[in-house]
Structure 1
Amino acid sequence: MSKAFTRETDSDADDDLPEPAVLPTGVNYITRSGYDRLRAELMGLIDEERPRIVEIVHWAASNGDRSENGDYLYGKKRLREIDRRIRFLTRRLEIAEVVDSSLHHGGDQVFFGATVTYTDDEGKETTVTILGIDEVESARNEISWVSPVARALLKARVGDLVRLMVPGGSQELEVLSVNYPAPVA
């Protein structure tokens, strides 16, 4: 059988699979810094990383037998990963709605972009920042605006008690403080 009509690798099959739909559809709220970070990642993939990998794949393909050429096989796999990420970032940026949370600076009500300090039933104090789905880093105590904690806190004011549904029942959270970034002049 001629190799011309066979797939080059077995892992090409994952190209036909749809990407999982775990993100809410519709509006993609995001801060300006989050938007800029995603856009910089997209431009870096398009302008730098993808052309570099294409060059490596081209060089590896020119070496002959592709079936046992690690540079070629890895390069093709990496190109698929880059293309998938480019498609994802493009879609997310197309529906992004940049929110200026500094408009609420000095306010005491919880909206998108707020840094909120609250206590739970056990008296444990926690501080979180409510951000967009694509920009959250949990290591920095950032939570998505669609998370259960954020949904419970949204529109609450300093001193309010809000109910958070948890697997074991519910908890009461008390909002202690609400802060927003200062407006940029």
Structure 2
Amino acid sequence: MNKAFVKETDHDDADDLPEIQTLPAGVKNYITADGYRALNDELMHLMNTERPEVVSVVSWAASNGDRSENGDYIYGKKRLREIDRRIRFLTRRLAEAEVVDPAQQPNRDQVFFGATVTYCPADGEDTTVTIVGVDEAEPLAGRISWISPVARALLRAHVGDTVSLRTPAGIQELDILDVEYPDP
């Protein structure tokens, strides 16, 4: 059938979407060993389990004949594009990743990548965050990216220091109460 009558294109629309988590130019992709392992596990699951299952469904749906109104085929192709896009993203991120082991940090009283920091804003409650890589950040779980504004304010500070954090509401002072690293 002529492509003028079906909604298929020669290019992958999913590739036109911007990357979800981009790194600033010239910035290394630091990641903890646990974060690297989690991304690698996701990549292996997509390649070895999920993608073959979807390919099987798409093949079965394609063998049924008319593809223009075949929901299994249309959804399967869309899901296959999503999986392939995520595989490409993970492959690139893992290739660029620089694994850092925070347990090997010699200056354990200073804030560096991988540190768990407890701080107190002048007008609030104590907050504990762990500084991790961009791909493993979960702010609601207390895991913040090392390039986030809070992490940038905390980096290189010592226990007892007061650092300034620029927020939309103005400058906020943060008192560093504790710095911890995983045991080696």
Q: What is the TM-score with the length of structure 2 in the denominator?
A: 0.91
Residue deviations 1:33-78 (CA, integer Å, cap 9, x gap): 1000000100111111101100100000000110110000000000
Deviation at 1:137, TM superposition (A): 1.7
Cα 1:98–1:8, aligned 2, differ >3 Å: closer, same or farther?
A: farther
Contact 1:105 1:180 in 2 (8 A): no
SS, match of residue 94 in structure 1:
helix
Please state if 1:19 is matched with 2:18: yes
Residue 7 to residue 20, structure 1, CA distance change in 2 (3 Å):
farther
Instruction: Summarize the Cα distance change of 1:57–1:96 in structure 2 as closer, same or farther, 3 Å threshold.
Output: same
Displacement of 1:13 in angstroms is: 5.8
1:104-143 alignment runs, 5 A limit? 104=105, 107-143=108-144
Kept in 2, the 8 Å contact 1:115–1:178? The answer is yes
| SS of structure 2 residue aligned to 1:119 | strand
The 1:176/1:78 distance shift into structure 2, 3 A limit, reads same
Contact residue 105 and residue 179 of structure 1 kept, 8 A: no
- Taking a change above 3 Å as real, the CA distance of residues 64 and 4 of structure 1, as seen in their structure-2 partners, is same
Where has structure 1 moved over 6 Å in runs of 4 or more? none
Inter-partner Cα distance in structure 2 for 1:127 and 1:159: 15
d(CA) in 2 for partners of 1:8, 1:104:
58
CA distance in 1: counterparts of 2:38 and 2:20, whole angstroms: 22
Q: Which amino acid aligns with 1:147?
A: S
Gaps of 5+ in 2: none
Change over 3 Å in CA distance of 1:6–1:105 after alignment to 2: farther
- The separation in 1 between residues aligned to 2:182 and 2:142, in whole angstroms, is 16
Instruction: Report if the CA contact (8 A) 2:12-2:81 is conserved.
Output: no
Unaligned runs of 5+ in 1: none
TM-score normalised by L of structure 1: 0.91
CA 1:110–1:58: 2 relative to 1, 3 Å = same
RMSD: 1.9
Q: How far apart are the structure 2 equivalents of 1:112 and 1:180?
A: 9
Q: Quote the Cα distance in structure 2 between the aligned partners of 1:178 and 1:19.
A: 36
Flag the 1:130–1:8 CA change in 2: closer, same or farther, 3 A: farther
